[in-house]
Structure 1
Amino acid sequence: MNVGSASGLGGDWGLAAYDAAKGAVTNLTNAMAHNRVPMRRFDEPAEAASVITFLASPAASYVNGAHIRVDGGLGASNGNPHLA
């Protein structure tokens, strides 16, 4: 599990180095996901339900406006084929 920042998804004024570092964490996480995914199966209902349960809980009180993919890593790809 990697923890980044909203700055990894968009730029901030005067923080180019910080934004670049956080963007690197975001893309590293996506690249590492390719070691496991796509998981070659559909999700189990309980897997999606656990994310929904978390988002509905007080523990997710600061999660707002986030797009959380529960797709087994399918969305981690940029669409390029595996060449190696």
Structure 2
Amino acid sequence: MHNPPHPGEVLKELCLEPLNLTVTEAAEALGVSRKTLSAILNGRAGISPEMAIRLSKAFDTTPESWLNQQMQYDLWYAEQAICNIEIGRLYVA
């Protein structure tokens, strides 16, 4: 897996921009604050299960697709952070 985009970037480029939606308009439609949506779009917050459901209903997608994007993003960054840490192998005798 190579440096996946933050799901907020995907949301902005593939959902909001093609529909010419402002952050305020999209936030109102999703039933969240502008601040909450802005944090996601700018990569400062992740997609929660609740937000994934909201997005799936608004854009006719699946919540799993949004959560999978978030998981791939989080896992990639976790792997980058831990790659220099020495970890011992544990075995059951």
TM-score by length of 2: 0.26
| TM-score normalized by the length of structure 1 | 0.28
Question: Highest CA radius of gyration, 1 or 2?
Answer: 2
